């Protein structure tokens, strides 16, 4: 027999100040989402100032992602046990310290360490933002609140290159970390005032074996995906990494299925409102990350935009998300979550197909903007309902771990988007460049290898004074065409993958959320949450 509960909304932690609290949750989230993309625009500056090689640059970018993804599940469980507001505030303080350390770094090693520390701080912040929404908003308002949360998350990712490009016109790369400090102060002060503490009073002791195997397993999986994007999916080292990740995550699943107090209750995955929406959300991030990875390079290297103009060129993504994400709540209420998410992913598939068919060497910006706007509309429509499905399918007192799972799938989708589509693009680019330039009699092999490494390297080599002008022009025209061919083929492949994902959602995701009930071995309902009213309530 299953028993449903009537929730006293006034007893929900932070209910009285929930909308004001959402503002500062959004500001906290903005720090995290900005950090995902703002640094990419500074790669040339970092290379010059720190004498960083390609491997070091990759670690500067990836150190944050790897640590962040690896610790999300752990920090979600920590926030449930010790307090979600507390976890958020601690994470913000740590993020401020890490940002200051990164800004003051004078070596690549120091910057890599600071980026890893920022990953730890981000893992405290990210699950707490969504779990605080889940416990302070009643079900009838939760979809709208999560829609706003999703719009802010997407906004930060989209405006990162724009803000970074603007700041780099006047300052050095250090400003990209210092800009976090005033935002963090505002988030700390407002959060302390308007957010109420909540935690799971029945939470078990921290599952140390679960922490070890989940963290190392997710780290190995994300690292394998990143390496596959650069070294190839058949590379021996990559295959070993995937093998290690599989073993570690299998051991984690075994431990969680046997322990009486698991960190990640595996029964959650039986609920398709949780597991189906998690996969759908990963695919939404797959399309965003894959397309933005190409379009940023395309606008700067092929079309010749400077960093600021290239950042400005991504505004349609931000604008589309701001408009569409909050509208997804009434749409899903009318047609159901299944059809809303599938429609959003289908629109994202159409956007990738449109970009794959229309982007050329001399594509006008209006066409580029149309593709990005279509992508943002699809993402905005799918992201918030999928997130709401995940969070509503778990007990409220497990909001931290549910939010962490939601965030982990986002990170995996992001890494997969760059790695999978990047592999298709690189293969076609290399074949195109080598197939054309090999035909030139006496073309040096070391020069060919360098040109094949990246479009940026090809342009740098073509501009070298020792390279004859006719050969430089040939290198640029060949590499540009090869890059565009690789990009458009990859986007077409992405469109096919997204179309299959939309079909998957239609088959698996329930139209109405299957909410947790007492008979499903779930934890205590919302009224048993610890309540600490915010000051002034």
Say if residue 491 is in the same domain as residue 400.
yes
pTM of the model: 0.76
Within this chain, do residues 175 and 279 fall inside the same structural domain, yes or no? yes
Total Cβ atoms within 10 A of residue 414: 24
On whether both 376 and 269 belong to a single domain, the answer is: yes
Q: What pLDDT is recorded for position 127?
A: 85
- Is residue 176 located within the same domain as residue 307? yes
Backbone angles phi and psi of 263, in degrees to 5: -70, -45
Residue 534, in any domain of the structure: no
Please count the structural domains in the chain: 3
> Domain for residue 96, yes or no?
yes
Whether 250 and 345 share a structural domain: no
Final residue in a domain of this structure, among 227, 262, 297: 262
pLDDT for the residue 439:
62
Same domain, 132 and 175: yes
Q: What's the start-to-end Cα distance of the chain, in Å?
A: 38
- Whether residues 221 and 283 fall in one domain: no
- Where do the DSSP E strands lie in 402-486? none
How far apart CA 89 and CA 28 sit, in angstroms, is: 9
Note whether residue 537 is domain-resident. Answer: no
Write down the pLDDT at residue 202: 67
Please check whether residue 92 is in contact with residue 125, taking contact to mean a CB–CB distance below 8 angstroms: yes
Mean pLDDT by runs of 10 across the 537 residues of the chain is 50 74 90 78 75 71 83 83 89 95 91 92 89 83 82 78 81 89 94 84 73 87 80 84 92 84 75 84 80 78 80 80 82 87 92 93 91 89 84 73 77 80 83 76 71 77 80 84 90 90 88 56 37 41
Note whether residue 4 is domain-resident: no
384: in domain: yes
Alpha-carbon dihedral sign for residues 449, 453, 458, 464: negative
Domain harbouring 100, CATH code: 1.20.1250.20
pLDDT the model gives residue 532: 41
374 and 296 share a domain? yes
- Which residue among 245, 262, 279 closes a domain? 262
Is residue 219 a part of any domain in this protein? yes
Establish if 495 belongs to a structural domain: yes
Distance CA 457, CA 463 (A): 10
Are 196 and 226 found together in one domain? no
Greatest CA separation for the chain? 81
Domain boundary among 195, 230, 262: 262
139 and 222 housed in the same domain: no
User: Do 105 and 249 share a domain, yes or no?
Assistant: no
- Report how far apart, in Å, the C-alpha atoms of 208 and of each of 79, 82, 131, 205, 263 are: 15, 15, 22, 9, 9
Domain hosting 258: range is 207-262
Residues 419 and 440 in one domain: no
Structural domain contains residue 455? yes
The residue with tokens 């995955």 is 269
């Amino acid at each position: 027999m299953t028993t449903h509960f009537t929730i006293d909304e006034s007893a929900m932690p932070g209910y009285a100040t929930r909308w004001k609290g959402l503002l500062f949750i959004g500001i906290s989230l903005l720090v995290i989402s900005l950090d995902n993309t703002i640094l990419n625009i500074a790669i040339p500056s970092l290379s010059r100032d720190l004498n960083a090689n390609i491997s070091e640059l990759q670690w500067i970018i990836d150190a944050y992602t790897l640590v962040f993804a690896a610790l999300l599940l752990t920090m979600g469980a920590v926030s449930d046990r010790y307090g979600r507001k507390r976890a958020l505030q601690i994470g913000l303080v740590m993020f401020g310290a890490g940002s200051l350390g990164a800004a003051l770094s004078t070596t690549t090693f120091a910057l890599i360490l600071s980026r890893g520390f920022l990953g730890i701080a981000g893992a405290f912040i990210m699950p707490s933002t969504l779990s605080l929404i889940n416990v302070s908003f009643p079900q009838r308002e939760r979809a709208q609140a999560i829609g706003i949360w999703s719009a802010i998350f997407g906004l930060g990712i989209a405006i990162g290159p724009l803000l970074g490009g603007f700041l780099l016109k006047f300052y050095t790369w250090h400003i990209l970390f210092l800009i976090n400090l005033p935002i963090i102060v505002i988030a700390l002060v407002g959060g302390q005032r308007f957010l109420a503490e909540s935690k799971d009073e029945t939470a078990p002791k921290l599952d140390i074996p679960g922490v070890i195997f989940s963290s190392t397993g997710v780290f190995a999986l994300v690292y394998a995906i990143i390496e596959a994007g650069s070294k190839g999916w058949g590379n021996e080292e990559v295959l070993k990494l995937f093998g290690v990740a599989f073993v570690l995550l299998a051991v984690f699943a075994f431990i969680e299925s046997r322990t009486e107090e698991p960190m990640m209750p595996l029964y959650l995955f039986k609920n398709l409102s949780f597991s189906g929406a998690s996969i759908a959300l990963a695919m939404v991030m797959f399309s965003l990350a894959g397309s933005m990875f190409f379009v940023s390079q395309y606008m700067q290297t092929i079309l010749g935009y400077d960093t600021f103009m290239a950042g400005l060129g991504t505004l349609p993504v931000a604008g589309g998300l701001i408009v569409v994400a909050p509208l997804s709540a009434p749409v899903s209420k009318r047609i159901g979550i299944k059809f809303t998410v599938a429609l959003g992913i289908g629109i994202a598939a159409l956007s990738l197909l449109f970009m794959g068919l229309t982007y050329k060497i001399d594509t006008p910006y209006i066409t580029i903007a149309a593709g990005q706007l279509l992508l943002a509309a699809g993402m905005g429509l799918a992201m918030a309902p999928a997130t709401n499905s995940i969070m509503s399918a778990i007990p409220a007192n497990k909001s931290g771990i549910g939010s962490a799972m939601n965030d982990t799938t986002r990170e995996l989708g992001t890494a997969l988007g760059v790695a999978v589509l990047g592999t298709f693009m690189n293969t076609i680019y290399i074949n195109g460049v080598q197939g054309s330039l090999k035909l030139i009699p006496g073309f040096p092999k070391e020069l060919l290898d360098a040109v094949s490494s990246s479009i940026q390297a090809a342009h740098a080599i073509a501009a070298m004074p020792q390279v004859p002008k006719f050969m430089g022009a040939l290198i640029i025209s060949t590499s540009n065409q090869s890059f565009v061919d690789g990009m458009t083929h990859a986007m077409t492949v992405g469109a096919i993958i997204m179309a299959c994902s939309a079909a998957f959602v239609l088959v698996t995701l329930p139209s109405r959320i299957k909410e947790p009930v007492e008979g499903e071995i779930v934890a205590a309902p919302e009224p048993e949450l610890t309540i600490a009213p915010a000051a002034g309530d």
